[in-house]
Amino acid sequence: MKQTIDRLFENAILEKEAYCDLIINLEKKEYEKELRYLFTKARQMRERYYGNKIYTRGLIEFSNYCKNDCYYCGIRRGNTKAERYRLSPEEILACADEGYRLGFRTIVLQSGEDASYSTDQIGSLVAALKEKHPDIAVTLSLGEREREVYQYWYDCGADRYLLRHETAVKAHYERLHPAELSFEHRIQCLYDLKEIGYQTGAGFMVGSPFQKTEDLAEDILFLKKLSPHMAGIGPFIAQKDSPFAEYPNGTLTQTLILLALVRLTLKNVLLPATTALGTIAPDGREKGILAGANVVMPNLSPVSVRKKYQLYDNKICTGEESAQCRKCLENRVRLAGCELVTDRGDYAETMIAS
């Protein structure tokens, strides 16, 4: 297994079967040493491109209204128990200002697919953010739109876009989403975003219902093909009012294995240690960093609405002020032997060391 990990480190692309073997075996107790080796190599790969720097993004979850009905998600339109909220452009700008004061140089705007903000309003918001703070990167994560809309927001100054593919296997996608959502459209969106020029983020959940090991291998191979700048990978966590309430959560170990494999396969990709990872284990994000992650995304939303953006149960960090979140993460990153920095944290094209 060590040899396979070395091959991956040396730039080989593994066959689907080889990824499957690694995913299955590395979770077994008897391969603990190999698992540690995987994490060591993943960290080494991260260091080649990013040193010990961990980038931070300030996340503003500005609306939990959504027209979609994804079965896993707590803010799907069918969840009548979700308490809905939306922030006004002024409130969003105020959160971003606070983030700027705290040293964030990337602001991520995320929401459900909420049609009440028009294309123009989002465009103006992006332009206003960039005008006020020309040295920040603005990331959007607003779901699937038409190419012209993505282009318009890009022209307004948006730098990056996050749209997880959720699963790279159509049959699996169709078990996680209602029939009106199209796998092909979601994938097309990702190619459009890249072509337009966004730093693009794809990604998937680990341990989502009906997921097979081969599906995870396909996720890695799809990422390799798309070659996104970012990959958001976190465990599936059941949400009590969703159709998947009774399904088991993704595991810490499997998520860490996938993070490390994606780091080794995509090399310089920006890889967050997600809030979901911190939710299934108290030290999940530190462990994510030790498995090759290099981004953390603390919440900048007003505390009054934080609890309402409940994609899954028991989401962490819904009670603290933004400044506290930042401090806490700084400590966690230090515990993982790294340093939280305030740069924009763009995608590294080249190695800084070998």
Q: Which stretch binds ligand SAH (CB under 6 A): 97-105, 125-133, 236-244, 339-347?
A: 236-244
Cβ atoms within 10 Å of 85's Cβ, excluding its own:
16
Alpha-carbon dihedral angle through residues 323, 329, 333, 339, given to the nearest 10 degrees:
-20
Check: CB of residue 108 under 8 Å from CB of residue 57: yes
| Cα 78–chain centre separation | 24
Q: Is 237 in the site for ligand SAH (CB under 6 A)?
A: yes
Among 50, 100, 150, 236, binds ligand SAH (CB under 6 A): 236
Smallest separation, CB 300 to ligand SAH (Å): 16
Q: Is 173 in the site for ligand SAH (CB under 6 A)?
A: no
Smallest separation, CB 209 to ligand SAH (Å): 10
Task: Supply the angle between the helices 213-226 and 16-25 in degrees, to the nearest 10.
Answer: 130
CA-CA distance, 4 to 235, in Å (whole number)?
A: 25
CA atoms in the 13 A half-sphere facing the CB of 84: 12
Smallest separation, CB 151 to ligand SAH (Å): 18
Check: CB of residue 130 under 8 Å from CB of residue 81: no
Cβ atoms within 10 Å of 314's Cβ, excluding its own:
13
Which 20-59 positions form the footprint of ligand SAH (CB under 6 A)?
Answer: none
Cβ atoms within 10 Å of 253's Cβ, excluding its own:
16
Q: Is 143 in the site for ligand SAH (CB under 6 A)?
A: yes
Would you say 41 or 56 has its CB closer to ligand SAH? 56
Q: Is 205 in the site for ligand SAH (CB under 6 A)?
A: yes
Smallest separation, CB 215 to ligand SAH (Å): 14
Q: Which stretch binds ligand SAH (CB under 6 A): 78-86, 132-140, 159-167, 325-333?
A: 159-167
Q: Is 141 in the site for ligand SAH (CB under 6 A)?
A: yes
Smallest separation, CB 253 to ligand SAH (Å): 17
Among 276, 280, 291, 329, binds ligand SAH (CB under 6 A): 276
Three-state DSSP at 27 gives: coil
Q: Is 113 in the site for ligand SAH (CB under 6 A)?
A: yes
Which amino acid, 55?
Y
Smallest separation, CB 47 to ligand SAH (Å): 28
Check: CB of residue 325 under 8 Å from CB of residue 276: no
Among 5, 163, 176, 280, binds ligand SAH (CB under 6 A): 163
Instruction: Tally the residues of the chain.
Output: 354
Binding site for ligand SAH (CB under 6 A): 72-73, 110, 112-113, 141, 143, 163-164, 166, 205, 234, 236-237, 239, 276, 311-312
